[in-house]
Amino acid sequence: MTNPAKPILWIPGPTEVRPEILAECARPMIGHRSKAMTTLMERLDPHLKFAFGLKDGSDASVAVHTCAGTGLMESALLGVGLRVLCIVNGAFSKRFHEIAVALGKDVVKLAAPMGSQVPFADIEKALREQGPFDALTIVSNETSTGVRTPLAELAAVTKKFPQTMVLVDFVSYIAGAPIDFDAHGFDFGFAGIQKALALPPGLTVAAASKRYLEAAKARKGRGFYLDPVKVFEGHAERATMATPAISLYYALAKQLEDISAGVVLPENQRGKTGRAAWQARFDEHTRMQQVTEAWAASNDLEMLPAPALRSTTISCIQAGDLDVPALITALKAQGHELGNGYGDLKDKTFRIGHMGDHTEAGLQALLQLADDVIAAQRAAKARV
């Protein structure tokens, strides 16, 4: 069932979902305490380990919970102590900070302007001079600005402060770039599924280190529905605390299996499976970032983030002389929906979400149409 009036979504989430995945959501219901549900949950874990980059024999755990991505920001914080350092460089890291404040944590905020990243030297200085901190919050990929935090450099700093739990939002990052959760010593990572995992919204996936879960268990006041211990134990025991979004579990299972089987890879990459298939998917996203960057340059447009900070799943481009609403309207009429800038960056930037199951070929087609729209806009301006 396709809707010809519906444009292809290149907005930064929710993104386009393949028909085969949508069809999974139409399966007949099963009881959530049934053997069928246990079997369905068991399909997820091996692939979630690839998504989070858990090593073979890792002592970290994975989980799935029925809620929006924002819910797991709260879960992550419910399992840690009072003193929290929040790294803020855009709309979603700002939300992570707001939740820490709302939970009554003793919060220090380190902020950087939209489009940039807090320098690692400043993070290290804060951890050293204003610590000890129980936890640090960070967003790996600021969907609002297209800024990707280099995780190896982050880990090089946070590993010097082992008393601090590292809580990372991977919402628009997961399945678009490698996470290396164990190697980087992260403690809690999470993602909603409607962005780089290309599924309908409503579920979250997460990974937690053994030390995070042990420390969380010893804490009081973890709430109930978002209690990280209940979330991870419920998943491990195949007994979720409440009725899960079963339809979305079916969709998630198929999507993860398809990624691991290389189903959505370009023709010349097919046949790769397991970790190699995930790596090939990350490489495709890197190429899409490079294609978008070259396209922007060919139209005399600049990316918002500095080269080292550019996301593989969302490109945020400075509008320059372009009329962003007109660009978006013209492309929508041709069947493609781009994202405007976020908040103060509205009309000053626009965003292309080349995330999820989007391909380099599909992106090239979009950018060709955009070339024509931009040329027409500039020609019209030159005439007046």
Please state the closest distance from residue 73 (CB atom) to ligand PLP, in A. Answer: 7
Of 8, 68, 111, 365, which lies in the binding site for ligand PLP, with binding defined by CB under 6 A?
A: 68
Q: For residues 182-217, b (16+ Cβ closer than 10 Å) or e, as one string?
A: bebbbbbbbbbbbbbbbbbbbbbbbbbbeebbebbe
355, 143 in Cβ contact below 8 A?
no
**Looking at 117-125, 156-164, 167-175, 221-229, which segment touches ligand PLP (CB under 6 A)?**
167-175
Site for ligand PLP in 2-41 (CB under 6 A): 13
**Looking at 1-9, 51-59, 64-72, 351-359, which segment touches ligand PLP (CB under 6 A)?**
64-72
**Looking at 57-65, 169-177, 219-227, 283-291, which segment touches ligand PLP (CB under 6 A)?**
169-177
Question: Scanning the structure block, which residue is given the tokens 């994975």?
Answer: 62
Say how far apart CA 156 and CA 181 lie, in whole Å. 13
Measured in whole angstroms, how far is the alpha carbon of residue 314 from the centre of its chain? Answer: 10
Say how far apart CA 268 and CA 53 lie, in whole Å. 24
Say how far apart CA 122 and CA 330 lie, in whole Å. 43
SS3 state at 7: coil
Q: Does 171 bind ligand PLP (CB under 6 A)?
A: yes
Please state the closest distance from residue 130 (CB atom) to ligand PLP, in A. Answer: 25
Q: Does 172 bind ligand PLP (CB under 6 A)?
A: yes
Please state the closest distance from residue 199 (CB atom) to ligand PLP, in A. Answer: 11
Per DSSP, 63 falls in state E
Q: How far is CA 246 from CA 107, 243, 251, 270, in A?
A: 37, 8, 9, 30
Of 70, 116, 279, 377, which lies in the binding site for ligand PLP, with binding defined by CB under 6 A?
A: 70
Q: Does 69 bind ligand PLP (CB under 6 A)?
A: yes
| Closest residue to bound ligand PLP by CB | 69
Radius of gyration of the chain (CA): 21
Q: How far is CA 152 from CA 40, 50, 59, 113, 383, in A?
A: 34, 18, 20, 22, 50
Paired tokens of 227:
């209690």
Amino acid occupying residue 156 = A
Please state the closest distance from residue 304 (CB atom) to ligand PLP, in A. Answer: 16
Q: Does 169 bind ligand PLP (CB under 6 A)?
A: yes
Q: How far is CA 103 from CA 97, 98, 109, 206, 216, in A?
A: 10, 9, 15, 20, 15
Q: Does 351 bind ligand PLP (CB under 6 A)?
A: no
Q: In the complex with ligand PLP, which residue's Cβ is closer, 115 or 192?
A: 192
Q: In the complex with ligand PLP, which residue's Cβ is closer, 13 or 262?
A: 13
**Looking at 38-46, 67-75, 227-235, 244-252, which segment touches ligand PLP (CB under 6 A)?**
67-75
Q: In the complex with ligand PLP, which residue's Cβ is closer, 99 or 327?
A: 99
Please state the closest distance from residue 84 (CB atom) to ligand PLP, in A. Answer: 17
Q: Does 115 bind ligand PLP (CB under 6 A)?
A: no
SS3 state at 10: coil
Binding site for ligand PLP (CB under 6 A): 13, 68-70, 92, 139, 141, 143, 169, 171-172, 192, 195, 201
